[in-house]
Amino acid sequence: MRHHLIAGIAFLFSTSALAADIPTDLQVELQSAMLSYIDEIVVDGAYTYVDTKEQAVKTAYPANIHPIIVPFGDDYFVCSEMVDDSGNKMTADFLVRLIEGDYRVVQLIIDDRKAMEVAMSKLGQ
């Protein structure tokens, strides 16, 4: 699973964040937090979760890491993409927070970009 981390960091260096004022070293830390979290939650390449919109248990597979990092108050959303069993693309937005000196994922929102956008609008972002 560490290959996700190395590939993701290399990909990050070749791209830029949505918010251009985020320093490169911070971009790397945020992306690394997301990749480490993915490595921790997947089993045999799959992530099983409860889809609260459809009230169903689903499985998602990490598919594509985007270079989008969006400030959210004192935290950040790091965006990625997953696919379902049928190969349909789903957004995967990781809420990353600085905790005791380390950036850590505190929430994963799958296939619900609208929830992220509503939350951001409530913060005035």
Token readout for 93 is: 């937005």
Q: Is the pTM of this model over 0.95?
A: no
Tokens 């911070």, residue located: 26
From first to last of its 125 residues, the chain has per-residue pLDDT tens of 444 444 444 433 433 445 568 999 999 999 999 999 999 999 999 999 999 889 999 999 999 877 789 999 999 999 999 999 999 999 999 999 999 999 999 999 999 989 888 888 888 76
> Residue 125, SS3?
coil
Tokens 């699973």, residue located: 1
Cβ neighbours for 57, distance < 8 A, ≥ 6 positions apart: 48, 49, 50, 51
Q: How many other C-beta atoms can be found within 10 angstroms of the C-beta atom of residue 71?
A: 16
